[in-house]
Structure 1
Amino acid sequence: MSEPRKILSLQPSTKTPEEREAEALALLTLAIGRKQCVRWTYNEVDMEAAPQAVYLKKESLYCDAVVTHRNGVKSKELKLGSFRLSGLKGIKLSENGSELWPDIQLSDGRYGVIIAAWGQT
């Protein structure tokens, strides 16, 4: 006899966007404190990044981070990017350490209210 055919289904996330954002905030704060990279998916791209700061701007949470790998390939050029926490999916700690981005200016007004940053946790 043959086995019954397996049916795959998409299950909606049981967590609200606010719960996912809160989990991302906690993990990013931990990663910054430990000077550790994180892995996430953002706009359908798998990334490894070194978080530098988490901040509140215009009622939304953001993370400035340096992406070190995209889809498993080392980034050709390192640069600081801004990522809205509500867009981060599958965030988890990486085994790789991170370094401070030398050109970050936390006193810049664009950061709004800083929640966690290098040297502040």
Structure 2
Amino acid sequence: MPASSTPGSVPSNANALLLQAIALRQCVTAVYNRMHVKLAPHILFTRHDDVFVDAVTLQRDGQPPKEIKLGTFKLAGLKDIVVIDEGFRPDAVFNPHDIKYEGVTLFVVEPN
């Protein structure tokens, strides 16, 4: 059974769900800005005392994106997070050594 939260809520265990997804290289589904998204989360980090995840968007409202890119999602904006049984490989668009992650990384996906 997938880990999830109450519909429409920011789960108190959002950090734990994303840590699990990153560690196991599992995709997550969530609602972000009222859109259903499927994400491949690559890194959890902080900025100005808020927690963010950089992830590759695999689907937005059931459709694949026009281009593969890394997006930044504020954890407080992700609702209905569910870790799903779909793996991913770290994408080449992700650079774990990017200066924006220096000193603020909470957890990062292991490279291939």
Length-normalised TM-score, structure 2: 0.83
Of the candidates 49, 61, 70, which is equivalent to residue 51 of structure 2? 61
Aligned residue identity for 1:114: T
Q: Report % sequence identity.
A: 33
Count of matched residue pairs? 103
Please identify the structure whose Cα radius of gyration is greater.
1
Of the candidates 100, 103, 106, which is equivalent to residue 93 of structure 2? 103
What's the offset of the Cα at 1:83? 0.2
Aligned residue identity for 1:36: Q
Q: Which has the higher contact order (CA 8 A, sep 6+)?
A: 2
Question: What is the 5 A alignment of 1:1-121?
Answer: 20=11, 22-111=12-101, 112-119=103-110
SS of 1:73 mapped into structure 2: coil
Asked if the contact 2:69/2:93 (under 8 Å) is kept, the reply is no
SS of 2:91 mapped into structure 1: coil
What's the offset of the Cα at 1:105? 2.1
SS of 2:13 mapped into structure 1: helix
Distance 2:25 2:97 in 1: 20
Asked if the contact 1:48/1:69 (under 8 Å) is kept, the reply is yes
CA RMSD of aligned residues (A): 1.9
Q: Which runs of 5+ in 1 are unaligned?
A: 1-12
| 1:27-62 residue CA offsets vs partner (Å, 9 max, x unmatched) | 000001111100000000100010000001111100
Q: Which runs of 5+ in 2 are unaligned?
A: 1-7
What's the offset of the Cα at 1:99? 1.4
| 1:54-95 residue CA offsets vs partner (Å, 9 max, x unmatched) | 001111100000000111122231110000000000000122
Distance 1:57 1:74 in 2: 28
